Amino acid sequence: MKHFAMLTLVAATALTGVYAADLAPVKSTVKQVYVYQPEKYSVRQGGTISNQFNTYLLTVTVSKPMGNKPPQLQFDISAGNFGFNPLINPLRITVNDIALSKLSVKAEDFTAWKDGDKAGTQLKLNFDGAKYTLISYMRPDSPVLWMTLKADPSSVEPTETLTIQVSNLTSNLVRVNKKIAWIGAYQREFITPTRTLKQQVKEYVLTPAENEITFTDKIFDGSAKDKGAGPTWFQFDSSVVTKATVTVRNEWVNVVKMTVKPDAKEFKFAYWQQKPAISNADFQKKLKEEKKAFTR
């Protein structure tokens, strides 16, 4: 892992000059994986998608019914301790008012996926007859995790509503006097293609041009060991989105909510984060220099 992290750093800085032919193929596997307290889960399938620049771990868990708690599905994305992280349930999909967490998913519904040089995973979802496939993949030339939520033509019910919620725990979770600071210890600043969103209580409504967000924190800017992990990045296809909002609050978790057109055949979005810390400034530079890698 350490070796891989170094590779990522080296590769990331040199990415501009790498020719496609020199790129290592994307690897992806899906298998049962260890999760914390595995005895509590009836399904715990893990997908690993990696190329020479980055590695993403996707996990599908279905908890066993415990006492009054019904079984619950969770789809997690991780490439580090902060940013998009299993702790905060980073991706929530709701179709026709049915939350992804309620769905019945079997281990065999989560499988490896490949299309040319793109490789990743796919997860079959059935929202009471409105069926979707969630494809997550990487390209050989990019550190980004590309995702597509594809409507399945075998659906027996139409989609009337579709919302996607992406949660982000930016850079660091602070402890003050040995207690976790859920609020009040952060200086969040999220950057879209058109503006920098400062902290405020009210959520921001994004314009169609604001189809990507870099989540940063000014205190925990990733520039040193005690400055957190640095920024993370999210992009989505705003052409099929009717409304998108983002919270930028002095809180540990902030949320992007997207209302997708119900008749959209697919909704594309993308995550980026990396395990080695990166400073806000370095990431902005990277984003600029490796534009192609961050473009679908």
Partner 1 sequence: MKIKNLLLAAVALSAATVWSYDLKTVELVPVKFEKAPSHAPVKMVENGKLNFAIVADLKAEKRMRAAKKSRSEESIAPAIEILTEAIEKCTGVKPQVLDIKDAAKAKYMIVLGDNAITRANGIDVKKLPTQGFAIKTFNKGIIIAGYDTALINGWNTKPLEHKGSSTGTKYGAYDFVERFLEVRYFFPGQYGTIWPKVKNLTLKPVYYTDAPYFDQRNGIFYLGLGFAKAAGKKFWQEYLGEITKKDAIFWDRWRMGGTSSAGGSHSPRPEMIAKAYPDKLEKIFYKSPAGNFWYNPKAHIGNYYDVVNLDFADILIDGAKKYYASNGKDNKYGFSGCNLSYFSFGMCDTLLPDTDVINHPVVKKLGLMTQKDLDRNKFYAGTTGDNAGMANIYARFHQYLAKRLQKELPGVKLYIMAYYNAQFAGTDPRWILPPNTEVNLCLGSMPNNTRNKVIAEKAVQVAKEWYESLGNRPVQKMWLYAGTDPFVQAVNGEFVGDIPKLFGKYMGTTSLFFDHCTGSPGNYWFFYYSYYAAYRSMWNPNWNAAAAIDAHWAKFYGKEAGKYLLQFHKHLRYCFEKYATTGTETVKSIVYPAPEIHKLKDLLAKAEKAINPGSVEAKRFKLFAAPWEKAFDKVLNQLSYERPIHNVYQLLRNEKVTIDGKGTEKFWAKAQNMKLMDPKGTTTPVKYPADIKLAWDKQGIYGLFTMKHSPIMADPKKDLFVNDNFEFFLSPGMKLEVEYQFVFDALKQTFFGTKRHLPIPQPFDSYWKVKGFKLECTHGKDFFTAEFFVPYSALNEKAPNVYDTWHCNVVRNKFSVPREYSGTSMTLGNNHNMSMYGIIKFAGKGE
Give the gyration radius of the chain's Cα atoms. 19
Q: Phi/psi of residue 137, each to 5°?
A: -150, 170
For 133-158, the DSSP string reads EEEEEE-TT-S-EEEEEEE-TT-SS-
Q: In the range 248-287, which residues lie near partner 1 by CB under 8 A?
A: none
Taking the complex as a whole, the smallest distance from the CB of residue 108 to partner 1 amounts, in Å, to 13
Q: Does 127 bind partner 1 (CB under 8 A)?
A: yes
b/e for 171-200, b at 16 or more Cβ within 10 A?
bbbbeeeeeebeeebbebbbbbeeeebebe
Q: In the range 25-84, which residues lie near partner 1 by CB under 8 A?
A: 42, 64-65, 67-71
- CA 26, distance to chain mean position in Å, is 18
Q: Per CB under 8 A, which region of 47-55, 122-130, 182-190, 216-224 contacts partner 1?
A: 122-130
The smaller minimum CB distance to partner 1, of residues 13 and 72, is found at 72
Q: Does 154 bind partner 1 (CB under 8 A)?
A: yes
Q: In the range 195-214, which residues lie near partner 1 by CB under 8 A?
A: none
Taking the complex as a whole, the smallest distance from the CB of residue 71 to partner 1 amounts, in Å, to 6
Sole binder of partner 1 in the list 156, 183, 209, 224 (CB under 8 A): 156
Sole binder of partner 1 in the list 16, 29, 32, 104 (CB under 8 A): 104
The smaller minimum CB distance to partner 1, of residues 95 and 206, is found at 95
The smaller minimum CB distance to partner 1, of residues 51 and 94, is found at 94
Of the candidates 193, 182, 226, the residue with the CA atom closest to the CA atom of residue 87: 182
Taking the complex as a whole, the smallest distance from the CB of residue 24 to partner 1 amounts, in Å, to 39
Sole binder of partner 1 in the list 22, 157, 160, 263 (CB under 8 A): 157
Task: Determine the straight-line distance between the first and last CA of the chain, rounded to whole angstroms.
Answer: 27
Q: Which two tokens stand for residue 193?
A: 């293609």
Taking the complex as a whole, the smallest distance from the CB of residue 142 to partner 1 amounts, in Å, to 35
The smaller minimum CB distance to partner 1, of residues 66 and 209, is found at 66
**Nearest-angstrom CA–CA distance, 6 and 10:** 6
Q: Phi/psi of residue 100, each to 5°?
A: -55, -35
Of the candidates 119, 84, 51, the residue with the CA atom closest to the CA atom of residue 213: 84
DSSP state of 150: E
The smaller minimum CB distance to partner 1, of residues 106 and 296, is found at 106
The smaller minimum CB distance to partner 1, of residues 71 and 143, is found at 71
The smaller minimum CB distance to partner 1, of residues 106 and 291, is found at 106
Q: Does 166 bind partner 1 (CB under 8 A)?
A: no
Q: Phi/psi of residue 73, each to 5°?
A: -95, 135
Of the candidates 208, 209, 189, the residue with the CA atom closest to the CA atom of residue 199: 189
The smaller minimum CB distance to partner 1, of residues 26 and 103, is found at 103
Sole binder of partner 1 in the list 59, 61, 126, 171 (CB under 8 A): 126
Taking the complex as a whole, the smallest distance from the CB of residue 104 to partner 1 amounts, in Å, to 6
Q: Which two tokens stand for residue 263?
A: 């008749």
CB 176 within 8 A of CB 234: no
Indicate the SS3 state at residue 131: strand
**Nearest-angstrom CA–CA distance, 147 and 149:** 7
Residues that bind partner 1 (CB under 8 A): 42, 64-65, 67-71, 98, 102-104, 126-129, 131, 154-157
